[in-house]
C-alpha cells in the first residue's frame, strides 16, 4: 500500500520510535496527523496490531499536538485508553491529538486513532509541559 | 554490548515458536518471565533489560515500551492469577508515568487481580526497577465466551529444552 499524499516520514525518530516505525506525519490547518502502516512485526498472537504499539502511536500523536498548539515540549504523565476495535495489518492508521485545556504546567489532551473503516483507540491524557528554556536534541 | 543477563529463575518467553515472522512481542526485545510460588505476588513476574532501542530521544525508557509490557502483564499475569488460558483482548488501560528508567535497568512487571467477572478481568499493574515503581497501570480485559483463542502460543525457553 502506498503512503497517502502529504505525509512525510519522521526520519528524525530514534530508539523505540525508530525500531517500531516508520511513522509519518502531515500538518493540516496547523494540526498534526500521524500515520502508520502496521506490518507483521507489529502484530500480536491474533494477527491484529498489538495494543502496546497502538498505545505508543497514539501517545506520540497526542504529544505532538501539544507542541503544535502550545509550542511547548511535553512528557506524558497519565494516559487512559479505550480499545474500541481491532486494527488489521496492512491497514493505514492515523492518529490525532487535540489540546482541550492547559495551564502553565499541564495540558489535557484528547486523542483518537482510526483506520480506514472505524475508530480503533480513544485516549485522554495529561501531559507535563517542560520549561521553555529546556531543550531536547530531537523529538520523536 | 549490553547483555540481558536476567536474574535467576527468569526464563525467556518464546512468542514466535518457530514461525518465520516476528510478532510485536518478539520485535520489541527479549521478554522474560518468572513463575514464583502460587498464590504469592511473585506468581507471575515479567522482566526485561532496558536497551537503547527501547528508549526515547531523551534517553529514558520509552512510554510505548512501558505500555506494551504493562498490557502484556495485565493480560498474561492477570489471566494467570484468574486461572484463564485464553487470549484476553484489552478493552481499557490507564497509565501513570511515575518515574523514568534508563538503559541497563532491569524492569519487572507484576499484576494484581482486582476482580474477574464472567466477561471482564480487572487488574492493577506495576512496573518497577528495584524498589522504585516506574509505571502504575490498570487494565480491563474482555474474557471471551466459550474457549476463545488458546493462550498457549508463547512458551518459555528452558535451558534443558535446548537442542
pTM: 0.87
Domain ranges of chain A: 8-129
Query: C-alpha cell of B120?
Result: 471482564
DSSP bridge partners of A88: A48
Mutate to test the interface with B, among A15, A89, A95, A119 (most CBs of B within 10 A): A15
Count how many Cα atoms sit within 13 Å of the Cα of residue A132 in the half-sphere of its side chain.
Answer: 3
DSSP bridge partners of B136: B96, B126
CB nearest B23 (choices: A18, A44, A82) = A44
Regions of chain B short of the pLDDT cut 70: 147-156, 158-163
CB nearest A59 (choices: B28, B64, B153) = B64
C-alpha to C-alpha distance for B148 and B66, rounded to whole angstroms: 27
What angle do the packed helices A51-70 and B63-72 form, to 10 degrees?
Answer: 150
Residue B42 within a domain: yes
> For residue B157, how many other CB atoms are within 10 A of its CB?
12
Across B13-51, b (16+ Cβ under 10 Å) vs e yields: bbbeeeeeebbbbbbbbebbbbeeeeeeeebbbbbbbbb
- Note the pLDDT of residue B161: 44
Regarding an ipTM greater than 0.90, the answer is: no
- Note the pLDDT of residue B148: 66
* H/E stretch holding B71: helix B63-72
Please enumerate in sequence order all residues whose Cβ is within 8 A of that of B31, keeping only pairs 6 or more positions apart, or say none. B12, B13, B15, B25, B46, B47, B48, B69, B72
Question: What CATH number should be reported for the domain holding residue B147?
Answer: 3.10.129.10
Are B64 and A17 an interchain contact pair (Cβ–Cβ within 8 Å)? yes
What number of residues does chain B have? 163
**Nearest-by-CA chain B residue for A47:** B23
CB nearest A41 (choices: B24, B55, B95) = B24
Containing domain of residue B114, as a range? 11-157
Residue B1 within a domain: no
**Nearest-by-CA chain A residue for B93:** A81
- Note the pLDDT of residue A134: 66
Residue B89 within a domain: yes
Query: A138 pLDDT band (50/70/90 cuts)?
Result: very low
Residue B162 within a domain: no
Q: Is the domain covering A8-129 a CATH 3.40.50.10860 domain?
A: no
Q: Is 90 exceeded by the pLDDT of residue A17?
A: no
CA distances from A89 to A1, A46, A47, B9, B158 (A): 11, 11, 7, 35, 31
Average pLDDT, chain A: 91
Amino acid at each position: 500500500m502506498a503512503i497517502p499524499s502529504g505525509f512525510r516520514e519522521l526520519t528524525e525518530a530514534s530508539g523505540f520510535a525508530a525500531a517500531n516505525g516508520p511513522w509519518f506525519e502531515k500538518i493540516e490547518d496547523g494540526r498534526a496527523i500521524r500515520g502508520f502502516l502496521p506490518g507483521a512485526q507489529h502484530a500480536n498472537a491474533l494477527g491484529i496490531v498489538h495494543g502496546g504499539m497502538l498505545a505508543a502511536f497514539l501517545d506520540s500523536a497526542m504529544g505532538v499536538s501539544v507542541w503544535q498548539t502550545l509550542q511547548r515540549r511535553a512528557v506524558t504523565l497519565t494516559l487512559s485508553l479505550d480499545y474500541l476495535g481491532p486494527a488489521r495489518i496492512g491497514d493505514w492508521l492515523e492518529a490525532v491529538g487535540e489540546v482541550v485545556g492547559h495551564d502553565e504546567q499541564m495540558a489535557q489532551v484528547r486523542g483518537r486513532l482510526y483506520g480506514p473503516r472505524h475508530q480503533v483507540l480513544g485516549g485522554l491524557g495529561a501531559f507535563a509541559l517542560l520549561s521553555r528554556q529546556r531543550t531536547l536534541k530531537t523529538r520523536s | 554490548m549490553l547483555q540481558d543477563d536476567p536474574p535467576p529463575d527468569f526464563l525467556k518467553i518464546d512468542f514466535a515458536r518457530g514461525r518465520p515472522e516476528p510478532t510485536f512481542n518478539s520485535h520489541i526485545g527479549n521478554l522474560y518471565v518468572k513463575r514464583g510460588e502460587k498464590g504469592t505476588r511473585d506468581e507471575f513476574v515479567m522482566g526485561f533489560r532496558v536497551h537503547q532501542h527501547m528508549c526515547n530521544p531523551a534517553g529514558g525508557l520509552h512510554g510505548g515500551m512501558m505500555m506494551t509490557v504493562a498490557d502484556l502483564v495485565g493480560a498474561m499475569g492477570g489471566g494467570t492469577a484468574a486461572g484463564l488460558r485464553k487470549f484476553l483482548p484489552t478493552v481499557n488501560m490507564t497509565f501513570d508515568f511515575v518515574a523514568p528508567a534508563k538503559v541497563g535497568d532491569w524492569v519487572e512487571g507484576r499484576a494484581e487481580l482486582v476482580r474477574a467477572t464472567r466477561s471482564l478481568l480487572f487488574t492493577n499493574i506495576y512496573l518497577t526497577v528495584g524498589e522504585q515503581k516506574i509505571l502504575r497501570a490498570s487494565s480491563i480485559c474482555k474474557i471471551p465466551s466459550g474457549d476463545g483463542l488458546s493462550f498457549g502460543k508463547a512458551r518459555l525457553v528452558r535451558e534443558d529444552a535446548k537442542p
